């Protein structure tokens, strides 16, 4: 990667839905059955004048359209565009009830259930006929041929109905897709077989092939729908970070104040929130009263809670860990930091792999070309039967021997059906979603969640792996990792007793080092952002940051060297003081996960470059980097989420193909 560290400027936030409905339109879209359908709808809606961007959610059967600044939303134009593409769209009758939380579709979508039912019906029938024909050799017996008709008929009607509807929907607007090919191929095989039976012809029937086509393509659609539903789980987990209710302060006409629980969706900028210890922040706000430590690890990756006081910004989804805060709402809805992260995940989930987009483009040409070839081959056998049979006989001697049909009509039907059958279960209809699901399952067995199809497709070309720190390479929980030489068992017990009543993460780390009697202390209290204190008899005990104790006139004494050494290691230090003298010191750090160094080494051995990108303080990041064997140019600290994206872009402009590991 070279020796130069990453440098960047934060990029503007990506386009996202506005908080007011005037710049966003939501549609319910019917008849979408696969990713190709969603892509077709997205392309059609994006062509409407004034549209900034479109997100189509297949599993929720909806589309979200954002308009350019100054553009007038035109819902009828969107509905007309979807209709022209072959899909019925409408405005939801009751958006709040119809859609619920954006991006939170049901655990199992209607499309997934539909394809699953098709597979459950078609798979046993297809397997049974395969065993009968290929295993038992019953294909040409009269009894089996009639049985095969009775078995294939429900599959043709029930499973084929979805393909027939899809083909007809696009045929009405002069278009075609894989549904067209599947419908024609299965119908040709089934119809020709039915004609053979009705005419008394002793030839081979193709009921197994007609059922197999429908079942295999349905299986591909089901796998694709399952992958989409699994990807939605990560988004639903994000949405649960922000609470559904908030505690607000209300002022009565007589000047008295009260605290009221209200739905978070009703909050507006300017409302006043009251946050108690342990509360999750519902919307982005600015502190106006109080002081507390706020856990922002989900947003910044910083392992240590950040002390927040008046004028400090607190963000949706973060956790107030210790004190009471009063804050004024500054951003709601899609303007919050958490909502922007959710929007980014939604856009990622609506993306499609390059091979899928290529398949969508090819299918527009591929389907009519296959139909033309099938018709041309059928007409050739029908009107030039003898020359075609002579050519077939010549080729069969070089390849394999196959008996030609006995009549021009039989040959025409057979060849037409054969071309369509061979073309149907192709990579565009089955192999792509099957390969994607296989990759997703293989990664899931290793504890890896694939974000989207594009990420999976590109993972084989990665050259650089960028790691987050907190909770990824480290445990994510602060622990006591060192004690000063002057510490004693008695001082450890005092420190634990002082720390135990506090909910601050650093205090919890100290509380576990020893057993202590908290009731031996009196006048215990917590100094927000500084530490805790209490009395033991006539002595004043303090446990907190070195700067706080120094401001209180406490002498560091022999612990000065320990403090300097721990600071150079990127370790946080808490000091225990009795009156004006320090009696113990503790180094607290978020430790590396077991095997983290091995992962880095194995990536490098595989020819990949490694980089550490974290929102934590520089000293902590440098300490972790040294433990992992990373060089100065391979780490960046103090980076917020929106800046991380810009840092990744810097690497990409250098020609790197980047994988990011972490939150």
Counting other chains too, the contacts that 626-633 makes at CB distance below 8 Å and 24 or more residues apart are 627/592, 627/597, 628/473, 628/592, 628/596, 628/597, 628/600, 629/597, 629/600, 629/601, 630/600, 631/3, 632/3, 632/5, 633/1, 633/2, 633/3, 633/4, 633/5
Residues 361 and 287 in one domain: no
Confidence at residue 328, expressed as pLDDT on a 0 to 100 scale: 92
Q: Can you tell me the distance from the alpha carbon of 99 to that of 518, in angstroms, rounded to the nearest whole number? A: 52
CA distance 511 to 520: 15
Cβ neighbours of residue 437 closer than 8 Å, sequence gap 6 or more: 223, 224, 226, 227
CATH at 616: 3.40.50.1000
4 lies in some domain: no
370 and 327 share one domain:
no
Q: In what order do the strands lie in the sheet with 635-636?
A: 635-636, 609-613, 464-467, 658-661
- Out of 577, 592, 607, a domain closes at 592
208: containing domain: 110-236+352-432
pLDDT reading at 554 higher than 80: yes
User: Using an 8 Å Cβ cutoff, are 327 and 275 in contact?
Assistant: yes
Q: What are phi and psi of 460, to 5 degrees?
A: -75, -10
CA angle 300–306–309, rounded 5-degree value: 125
Q: Among 536, 563, 592, which residue terminates a domain?
A: 592
Q: What is the pLDDT of residue 95?
A: 43
CATH of the domain at 300: 2.70.150.10
Of 254-263, 454-463, 517-526, the poorest mean pLDDT is in: 517-526
**176-195 average pLDDT score:** 82
Question: Of 19, 1, 104, 9, which Cα lies nearest the Cα of 60?
Answer: 104
Greatest mean pLDDT among 6-10, 154-158, 288-292 lies in 154-158
Measuring CA to CA, how many Å separate 118 from each of 60, 69, 141? 20, 45, 28
| d(C-alpha 635, C-alpha 631), whole Å | 7
Choice between 305 and 538, residue whose per-residue pLDDT is larger: 538
Q: Maximum CA pair distance of the chain?
A: 116
Q: What is the spatial distance between Cα 320 and Cα 275, in angstroms, rounded to a whole number?
A: 7
Q: How many CA atoms, within 13 angstroms, populate the side-chain half-sphere of residue 75?
A: 15
Count of CB atoms situated within 10 Å of the CB of 249: 16
46 and 129 belong to one structural domain: no
**pLDDT above 80 (res 611):** yes
Which residue shows structure tokens 């009107």? 383
> How high is the pLDDT of residue 350?
54
- Region 511-520: mean pLDDT is 71
The residue-averaged pLDDT of 461-481 equals: 84
The least confident of 32-41, 119-128, 255-264, 347-356 is 347-356
The alpha carbon dihedral of 561, 565, 566, 568 has a sign of positive
Looking at residue 107, its pLDDT comes to 45
- Position 351 scores a pLDDT of 53
Tell me the pLDDT tens digit for each residue of 166-180.
Answer: 888 778 777 777 778
Supply the pLDDT for residue 445. 60
Tell me: do 267 and 376 sit in the same domain. Answer: no
Mean pLDDT of the chain: 78
Q: Is the pLDDT of residue 155 over 70?
A: yes
- Tokens linked to 443: 């990664």
Which of 585, 582, 565 minimizes the C-alpha distance to 483? 585
Contact 576, 494 (CB under 8 A): yes
Question: Contact, 126 vs 167, CB < 8 A?
Answer: no
369 and 268 part of one domain? no
The reply to whether 94 and 172 lie within a common domain is no
Identify the residue with better confidence: 536 or 366.
536
Cβ-based neighbours of 46, under 8 Å, separated by 6 or more: 53, 54
Is pLDDT above 80 for 63?
A: yes
Burial class of residue 230 (count of CB atoms within 10 Å of its CB; 0-12, 13-18, 19+): middle
Number of alpha helices (DSSP H) and beta strands (DSSP E) in the chain: 22, 23
Query: Which range is least confidently modeled, 462-466, 505-509, 514-518?
Result: 514-518
pLDDT of residue 427 exceeding 70, the answer is no
Q: Tell me: the pLDDT tens digits for 66-88?
A: 888 888 888 889 988 888 888 88
Q: Is residue 342 part of a domain?
A: no
Which one-letter DSSP state was computed for residue 472? T
114 with 72, same domain?
no
Comparing 74-83, 105-114, 160-169, 211-220, the range with the smallest average pLDDT is 105-114
Identify the DSSP state of 429: I
Report residue 343's pLDDT band, with 50, 70 and 90 as the boundaries: low
Q: Which of 386, 378, 371, 383 is nearest to 411 (CA)?
A: 378
Confidence of residue 428 (pLDDT cuts 50, 70, 90): low
Between CA 100 and CA 98 the distance in angstroms is: 6
Q: Output the six-digit token pair for 422.
A: 């061979």
Q: How confident is the model at residue 300 (pLDDT cuts 50, 70, 90)?
A: low
Please tell me the predicted confidence (pLDDT) of residue 36.
67
Please state, in angstroms and as integers, the Cα–Cα distance from residue 426 to each residue in 18, 89, 125, 370, following that order.
42, 30, 21, 12
> Which CATH number characterizes residue 62's domain?
3.30.70.100
Cβ partners under 8 Å of residue 475, min gap 6: 590, 591, 592, 593
Q: Give the whole-angstrom CA distance, residue 85 versus residue 83.
A: 5
**Backbone angle region of 338, left / alpha / beta, with phi > 0 → left and psi within -120 to 50 → alpha:** alpha
Instruction: Tell me: do 229 and 377 sit in the same domain.
Output: yes
466 and 424 share one domain: no
Question: What's the domain count of the chain?
Answer: 5
Highest mean pLDDT among 23-27, 277-281, 304-308, 622-626: 277-281
The token duo for 447 is 């504890």
Q: Is residue 620 part of a domain?
A: yes
Tell which of 592, 619, 651 closes a domain. 592
Percent helix, strand and coil across the chain, each rounded to 5? 50, 20, 30
For residues 143 and 263, what is the distance between their CA atoms, to the nearest angstrom? 67
**Which sequence positions are flagged as catalytic?**
468
DSSP code of 485? T
CB hemisphere CA count around 499 (13 angstroms): 26
The answer to whether position 452 is within a domain reads: no
Instruction: Please tell me whether residues 76 and 134 are part of one structural domain.
Output: no
Same domain, 522 and 510: yes
Q: Residues 577, 541: contact at Cβ < 8 Å? A: yes
DSSP bridge pairs for 227 = none
Confidence at residue 613, expressed as pLDDT on a 0 to 100 scale: 86
Domain contains 119: yes
pTM for the whole structure? 0.52
Residues 267 and 304 in one domain: yes
In this prediction, residue 531 carries a pLDDT of: 86
372 located within any domain = yes
Among the residue ranges 138-147, 219-228, 604-613, 626-635, the one predicted with the least confidence is 219-228
> Do β-strands 272-275 and 474-483 pair in parallel, antiparallel, or remain unpaired?
unpaired
Classify residue 456: in a domain, yes or no.
no
Residue 246, SS3 per DSSP: strand
Top mean-pLDDT range of 296-305, 369-378, 394-403, 521-530: 369-378
The CATH number that applies at residue 489 is 3.40.1110.10
216-230, 336-350, 579-593: lowest mean pLDDT where?
A: 336-350
Q: What is the DSSP letter of 281?
A: P
- Nearest alpha carbon to residue 14 among 465, 652, 663, 646: 646
Task: Please report whether residue 442 resides in a domain.
Answer: no
What is the structure's pLDDT at 246?
87
pLDDT at residue 158, as a whole number = 92
pLDDT band at residue 586 using 50, 70 and 90 as cut-offs = very high
């Amino acid at each position: 990667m070279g020796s130069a560290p990453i440098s960047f400027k934060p990029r503007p936030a990506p386009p996202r839905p506005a908080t007011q409905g005037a710049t966003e339109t939501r549609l319910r879209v019917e008849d979408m059955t696969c990713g190709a359908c969603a892509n077709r709808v997205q392309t059609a809606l994006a062509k409407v004048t004034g549209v900034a961007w479109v997100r189509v959610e297949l599993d929720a059967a909806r589309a979200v359209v954002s308009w350019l600044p100054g553009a007038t939303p035109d819902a009828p134009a969107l509905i007309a565009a979807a209709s022209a593409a072959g899909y019925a769209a409408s405005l939801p009758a009751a958006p709040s009830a119809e859609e619920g939380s954006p991006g939170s579709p049901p655990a199992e979508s209607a499309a997934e259930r539909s394809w699953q039912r098709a597979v459950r019906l078609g798979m046993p029938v297809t397997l049974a006929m395969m065993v009968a024909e290929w295993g038992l050799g019953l294909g040409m017996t009269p009894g089996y041929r009639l049985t095969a008709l009775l078995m294939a008929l429900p599959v043709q009607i029930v499973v084929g109905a979805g393909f027939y509807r899809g083909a007809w929907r696009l045929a009405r607007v002069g278009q075609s897709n894989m549904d067209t090919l599947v419908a024609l191929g299965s119908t040709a095989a089934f119809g020709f077989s039915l004609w053979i039976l009705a005419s008394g012809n002793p030839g081979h029937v193709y009921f197994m092939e007609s059922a197999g086509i429908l079942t295999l393509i349905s299986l591909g659609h089901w796998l694709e729908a399952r992958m989409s539903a699994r990807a939605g789980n990560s988004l639903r987990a994000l949405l649960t970070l922000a609470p559904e209710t908030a505690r607000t302060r209300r002022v009565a006409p007589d000047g008295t104040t009260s605290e009221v629980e209200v739905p978070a969706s009703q909050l507006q900028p300017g409302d006043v929130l009251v946050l108690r210890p342990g509360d999750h922040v519902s919307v982005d706000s600015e502190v106006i009263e109080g002081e507390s430590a706020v856990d922002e690890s989900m947003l910044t990756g910083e392992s240590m809670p950040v002390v927040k006081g008046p004028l400090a910004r607190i963000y949706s989804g973060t956790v107030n860990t210790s004190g009471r805060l009063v804050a004024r709402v500054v951003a709601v809805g899609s303007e919050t930091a958490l909502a922007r992260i959710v929007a980014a995940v939604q856009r990622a989930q609506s993306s499609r792999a390059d091979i899928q987009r290529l398949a969508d483009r090819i299918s527009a040409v591929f389907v009519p070309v296959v139909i033309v070839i099938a018709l041309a081959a059928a007409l050739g056998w029908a009107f030039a039967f003898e020359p075609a049979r002579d050519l077939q006989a010549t080729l069969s001697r070089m390849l394999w021997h196959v008996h030609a049909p006995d009549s021009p009509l039989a040959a025409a039907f057979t060849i037409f059906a054969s071309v369509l059958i061979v073309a149907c279960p192709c990579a565009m209809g089955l192999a792509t979603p099957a390969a994607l699901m296989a990759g997703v399952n293989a990664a899931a067995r290793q504890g890896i969640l694939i974000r989207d199809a594009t990420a999976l497709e590109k993972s084989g070309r990665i050259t650089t792996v960028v790691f987050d720190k907190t909770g990824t390479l480290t445990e994510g929980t602060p622990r006591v990792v060192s004690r000063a030489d002057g510490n004693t068992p008695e001082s450890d017990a005092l420190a634990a007793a002082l720390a135990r009543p506090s909910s601050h993460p650093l205090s919890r780390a100290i509380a576990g080092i020893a057993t202590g009697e908290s009731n031996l202390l009196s006048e215990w209290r917590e100094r927000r952002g500084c530490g805790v204190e209490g009395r033991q008899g006539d002595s004043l005990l303090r446990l907190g940051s070195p700067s706080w104790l120094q401001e209180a006139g406490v002498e560091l004494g022999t612990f000065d060297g320990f403090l300097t050494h721990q600071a150079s290691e990127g370790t946080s230090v808490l000091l225990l003081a009795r009156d004006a003298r320090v009696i113990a010191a503790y180094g607290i750090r978020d430790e590396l996960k077991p095997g983290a160094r091995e992962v880095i080494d194995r990536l490098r051995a595989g020819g990949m470059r490694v980089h550490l990108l974290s929102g934590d303080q520089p000293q902590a990041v440098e300490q972790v980097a040294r433990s992992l064997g990373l060089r100065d140019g391979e780490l960046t600290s103090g980076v917020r989420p929106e800046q991380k994206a810009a840092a990744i872009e810097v690497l990409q402009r250098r020609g790197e193909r980047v994988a990011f590991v972490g939150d």
